[in-house]
Amino acid sequence: TTRGINRREEKGLRDMLQCRVNFLDDTYFILTIKFFFFLPQRNALGQDLFNKVCEHLDLLERDYYGLVMWDSPNSCIFISASVPCMLVSGPVTEFFVNIKFYPPDPSILAEDITRYLLCLQLRKDILIGRLPCPPDILALLGSYTVQSTIGDYDPNLHKNNYVSEIVLAPNQSEELGERIMELHSTYRYPVPTIKLTHMSSNTFV
């Protein structure tokens, strides 16, 4: 009977696939989804997984982001919305949230979470050398990062090369650190996220 077939499907043809989704803030989310060996039409697709991730992040502006698998630090594959998750083998399938493209005008972004993720992606891309950045802009972005990390400059707390523990760029030099500290000392109150995001649209080569 149909009911008997359905029960056999549930018992014999189904297995569970664990997916680890790594976020841009270095946290992660574990999802367990079921897949069917002989019923591929019933398997979760890349879009299903991405939707769950967006719900977890409460991410509404979804067009800028996707899920990827990395071949190397500079080479990744975006997971197609129509590809079944089970086609990627391994005991734990690992994905990463990644930006598809930087918006030409970040001021159009409506959600704080979208801007926040964009900032995290920007910092990662600079840090590993994927996104070349002129020294003056790198110092400015670095100073914004320091301000958002430790707050206002305090001469009683922030002595010597206090930014050395915050890695902001590949092969970070003392000269860069000095310029970052010089800029940081002029800031008061948190730096709005939009100041970070607007830099991505017209300052990188």
pLDDT band at 123 (very low <50, low <70, confident <90, very high): confident
Q: Within this chain, do residues 9 and 94 fall inside the same structural domain, yes or no?
A: yes
| pTM value surpassing 0.75 | no
Mean pLDDT of the chain: 76
Residue 143's CATH number: 1.20.80.10
Per-position DSSP letters for 8-53, written without gaps between them: HIIIIIEEEEEEEEE-TTS-EEEEEEEEESS-GGGSPBHHHHHHHH
Q: Within this chain, do residues 115 and 70 fall inside the same structural domain, yes or no?
A: no
Q: Within this chain, do residues 83 and 111 fall inside the same structural domain, yes or no?
A: no
Q: Which H or E run includes 5?
A: helix 2-8
Q: Within this chain, do residues 110 and 95 fall inside the same structural domain, yes or no?
A: no
As a whole number of angstroms, the distance between CA 195 and CA 103 comes to 14
Give percent of the chain with pLDDT exceeding 90. 8
Q: Within this chain, do residues 49 and 71 fall inside the same structural domain, yes or no?
A: yes
Within 10 angstroms of residue 10's Cβ, the number of other Cβ atoms is: 11
Q: Within this chain, do residues 110 and 196 fall inside the same structural domain, yes or no?
A: yes
Q: Could you tell me the strand order of the sheet in which 65-72 lies?
A: 28-36, 14-22, 92-99, 65-72, 75-78
Q: Within this chain, do residues 12 and 78 fall inside the same structural domain, yes or no?
A: yes
> Which residues are 32's β-sheet partners?
18
DSSP code of residue 84: B
Write down which residue in 99, 130, 161 finishes a domain.
99
What domain range includes position 55?
Answer: 2-99
pLDDT in tens, 23-68: 998 899 888 776 554 444 455 667 888 888 899 999 999 999 988 8
Write down which residue in 74, 99, 124 finishes a domain.
99
Q: Within this chain, do residues 150 and 190 fall inside the same structural domain, yes or no?
A: yes
pLDDT in tens, 86-109: 555 455 578 899 888 888 877 788
Residue 60's CATH number: 3.10.20.90
Write down which residue in 45, 64, 99 finishes a domain.
99
Q: Within this chain, do residues 59 and 125 fall inside the same structural domain, yes or no?
A: no
Cβ neighbors of 192 (< 8 A, separation 6 or more) are: none
Rg from Cα positions in the chain: 22
Per-residue confidence (pLDDT) for residue 73, from 0 to 100: 63
Q: Within this chain, do residues 135 and 152 fall inside the same structural domain, yes or no?
A: yes
User: Phi and psi dihedrals of 36, rounded to 5?
Assistant: -120, 125
Q: Within this chain, do residues 69 and 13 fall inside the same structural domain, yes or no?
A: yes
Q: Within this chain, do residues 95 and 110 fall inside the same structural domain, yes or no?
A: no
Count: domains in the chain: 2
The answer to whether residue 135 scores a pLDDT higher than 50 is yes
